Amino acid sequence: MTALGVTFDSHAGGIEVDHLLASAAFPIAFPPVSIDGRVYVDAGVSANLPIEPLCEGSNPQDVLCLALDLVTAHGKVPRSLDDAVGRAHDLIFASQSRHALQRVMRSNTSASSGRIAIVYLSYDGSGREIGGKSLEFSTHSIQRRWAAGKADMQKALASLADLPTSPGCSIHHLRGGSFFEPA
């Protein structure tokens, strides 16, 4: 977990409840969390898909990372102010994710590193989200998001045997039940 430039790592110091609360402390909706005198908020504000630590240093083990994005870069042309707010939200966060994926692909993984396979899944909301969806936590919305995430994850896990592997780092999107590597 990364919180505004700080990585909370279970292998280096452990993860406690305050670390989890800090990583979910989205401003306005949830209060910031203080850990060792420093105040943290949800890293999604500045690093929506914090995957860069995967390629830092030398790790001789193979890694499978399931990178889950709660927004999508793909969507319809807005037809109302609420639609425009929602698309702007999606594009801001999806751009952060796209840039993080590009940085990981450009990073120099060491020759002693194992294979790093990133399976990237993004939630699209199917046009049923409101513009201010990042602050919308109704029971119905949460249940719909959980069901969509569960369905996407089941497809991804069922398809892992077909995941192409290669040395170094690779990113795979799941679409229509099969993996593809983005251009």
The 3 state secondary structure assigned to 134-154 is HHCCCHHHHHHHHHHHHHHHH
Asked if residue 2 has pLDDT above 50, the reply is: no
DSSP string of 164-183? Answer: ---SSEEEEEEETTEEE---
Q: Confidence class of residue 3 from pLDDT cuts 50, 70 and 90?
A: very low
pLDDT in tens, 61-85: 778 888 888 777 777 888 888 888 8
pLDDT score recorded for residue 158? 85
The predicted pLDDT at position 62 comes to 79
Nearest partner of 33 among 47, 53, 15, judged by Cα: 15
Where residue 107 falls among pLDDT bands split at 50, 70, 90?
A: confident
108 Cβ neighbours under 8 A, 6+ residues apart: 55
* C-alpha span between 150 and 140 (Å, rounded): 15
Query: What pLDDT does 34 receive?
Result: 93
Return the pLDDT at 37: 92
The per-residue pLDDT for range 137-174, each reduced to its tens digit, is 788 888 988 888 888 888 888 888 777 777 777 888 87
Q: Among all chains, which residue has been given the structure tokens 């939200």?
A: 89
The pLDDT tens digits for 7-60 are 887 777 788 999 989 888 888 888 999 999 999 988 777 777 888 777 766 666
Strand 169-175, strand 2-3: pairing: unpaired
Take residue 170 and report the two structure tokens written for it.
């690779």
